[in-house]
Amino acid sequence: MLQGSLFDQDEDMALGPLTGVRRTTLGAGAWIDVLPGWLSGADALYEHLADGVPWQAERRQMYERVVDVPRLLKFYGDGRTLPHPVLAEARDALSAHYGEELGEPFTTAGLCYYRDGRDSVAWHGDRIGRGAREDTMVAILSVGAPRDLLLRPLGGGSGSTVRRPLGHGDLIVMGGSCQRTWEHAIPKSTRATGPRISVQFRPHGVR
Ligand SMILES: O=C(O)CCC(=O)C(=O)O
Ligand SMILES: [Fe+2]
């Protein structure tokens, strides 16, 4: 459960204007846009998603072993009804704000549930789809406990790692060549860490 005292339990859920995003150029054609507190009143969304999404535990082949994926997942493809109306509002606001630069709308939503600090996502780029070849954007809305998102240039060594803490209601957008020239990760945390849910909005064919 979230600690009520830390969060805005009674605040109305509302998305702020995207005009407040701040862009950081990472290099090699990659950038990130950050907007802390994009969604206010995010407690209700966290609770709704934690309880209401049919979360899936997945297992993946890793070399000769099958291992648990260290987070729960649920993917909503193009045209699927999202589990809360504010997520459709968020997707449409992102499409309106970035449409010209991106050249297409955001259409899918991937949800991840990090139950505690042991859950994580290893270094990767979102390169299953077109992100392997083309510039694109992946926009992430974070709710629940804060976790760090790390970014590093592909093959560039850990000296150039960028750390962006993502808190309750925060938005980060990875853009340009970020998925193919950089990698990102949510590292495990050894500190007592509450649960976090992230919602990744992507265009059609990016995964
Ligand atoms: O949880 C996050 O913020 C990142 C998730 C991610 O990188 C992914 O699902 O591809
Ligand atoms: Fe990713």
Q: Which domains does the chain have, with CATH numbers?
A: 4-202 (2.60.120.590)
Q: pLDDT band for position 156 (50/70/90)?
A: confident
CA of 197 to the centre of ligand 1 (A): 10
- Asked if the model's pLDDT at residue 3 lies above 60, the reply is no
Does the beta carbon of 126 sit less than 6 angstroms from any atom of ligand 1?
yes
For 169, other C-beta atoms within 10 Å of its C-beta total 27
**Do residues 47 and 4 lie in contact, with contact meaning Cβ atoms separated by under 8 Å?**
no
Distance, CA of 24 to CA of 45 (rounded, Å): 28
Q: Read off the pLDDT of residues 94-130 as tens digits, 9 standing for 90 and up.
A: 999 999 999 999 999 999 999 999 999 999 999 999 9
For 120, other C-beta atoms within 10 Å of its C-beta total 15
Q: Read off the pLDDT of residues 27-61 as tens digits, 9 standing for 90 and up.
A: 999 999 999 999 999 999 999 999 999 999 999 99
DSSP state of 50: H
CA of 187 to the centre of ligand 1 (A): 11
Using only C-alpha atoms, the chain has a radius of gyration, in whole angstroms, of 16
pTM of the model: 0.94
What three-state secondary structure class fits 126? coil
| Residue whose CA lies nearest to ligand 1 atom number 10 | 126
**Do residues 11 and 32 lie in contact, with contact meaning Cβ atoms separated by under 8 Å?**
no
CA 199 vs. chain centroid, Å, equals: 5
CA of 64 to the centre of ligand 1 (A): 25
Backbone angles phi, psi at 14, to 5 degrees: -155, 140
Does the beta carbon of 199 sit less than 6 angstroms from any atom of ligand 1?
no
Residues flanking ion ligand 2, Cβ below 5 Å: 126
Distance, CA of 123 to CA of 125 (rounded, Å): 7
Q: Percentage of the chain with pLDDT > 90?
A: 91
**Do residues 145 and 198 lie in contact, with contact meaning Cβ atoms separated by under 8 Å?**
no
**Do residues 102 and 192 lie in contact, with contact meaning Cβ atoms separated by under 8 Å?**
no
| Residue whose CA lies nearest to ligand 1 atom number 3 | 198
**Do residues 57 and 36 lie in contact, with contact meaning Cβ atoms separated by under 8 Å?**
no
Pocket-testing residue among 69, 121, 164, 196, ligand 1, by greatest number of atoms within 8 A of Cβ: 121
**Do residues 169 and 143 lie in contact, with contact meaning Cβ atoms separated by under 8 Å?**
yes
Q: pLDDT band for position 1 (50/70/90)?
A: very low
Tell which atom from ligand 1 comes closest to the C-alpha of 166. 3
ipTM summary value: 0.99
Does the beta carbon of 171 sit less than 6 angstroms from any atom of ligand 1?
no
Distance, CA of 205 to CA of 77 (rounded, Å): 10
